[in-house]
Amino acid sequence: MATSSGFLRYLESRRNLTGAACGLTGLALTFGKVAGPYWPVVVAGLYGAGALIAPPERSPRPEFPDPSAPLDSVRGDFETLETYLSAVTLPPEASGRLTELTELLAALLHPDWGTELLSHDPEGVHTLSRIVRQDLPEAVDTYVRTRWWTRLAPGQDSPEHHLERQLGLLTDQAERLAVDLRETQARRQESHTRYLEGRDRRSGTTT
């Protein structure tokens, strides 16, 4: 089977096709009575020459997932998380912090703004993924569970206090990521300015 497959690949290869085209030229010379009695040698020689000069086979380029694919997955999970959060009742202070955090996450995950920069920042995507898929749902779910037990047996630290601290820490992480992305975009802008200035100087020198 492997030999048959290799033979079929050779039949479709550039070397065979180019050689065959040159061999047909040899046959044309034979029919034109140019090759004479040595036509088999001429045809074989032209085929071999064509096979040698044919461009080498180029292996197909491997296809990899689009860099933004992981971010699309996180964006879909964020939509699921928003549905879950909309059904949870939180105290006013924590609710305000949660709204601030989710608005920031939505901005970072916006397909028209953050995708291009984040697709080249795997650490940034990991940070968003961890907040959306683990840290934020864990913080809210733990609060809901602890609040129920606290009503039965009140403790010293209120669950609301811990939730507010956790949301504040997650907001800080998201804000740092936003700052990093802003600085990356600023460096790109500065680099483009230097490029245009340099091109302008070179153009002025040549004129």
Sort residue 33 into left (φ over 0), alpha (ψ -120 to 50) or beta: left
129-153 per-position pLDDT tens digit = 999 999 999 999 999 988 877 766 6
- Asked if the model's pLDDT at residue 28 lies above 90, the reply is no
Q: Exposed, middle or buried: residue 22 (CB in 10 Å: 0-12, 13-18, 19+)?
A: buried
pLDDT score, position 8: 47
Provide the terminal-to-terminal Cα distance of the chain, rounded to the nearest Å.
Answer: 67
Rounded Cα gap, residues 89 and 148, in angstroms:
13
**Sign of the torsion formed by the C-alpha atoms of 169, 174, 177 and 179:** negative
- Asked if the model's pLDDT at residue 72 lies above 80, the reply is yes
Indicate the residue type of 145. Answer: R
Rounded Cα gap, residues 174 and 204, in angstroms:
45
Residue 131 to residues 51, 55, 117, 181, Cα–Cα distance (Å): 59, 52, 18, 17
188-205 per-position pLDDT tens digit = 889 999 989 888 777 766
- Asked if the model's pLDDT at residue 93 lies above 80, the reply is yes
- How does DSSP assign 145-201, residue by residue? HHHHHHHHS--SS-HHHHHHHHHHHHHHHHHHHHHHHHHHHHHHHHHHHHHHHHHHH
Rounded to the nearest integer, the mean pLDDT of the chain is 76
pLDDT score, position 110: 87
Ordered by start, the domain boundaries in the chain are 8-53, 69-206
149-177 per-position pLDDT tens digit = 776 666 677 889 999 999 999 999 999 99
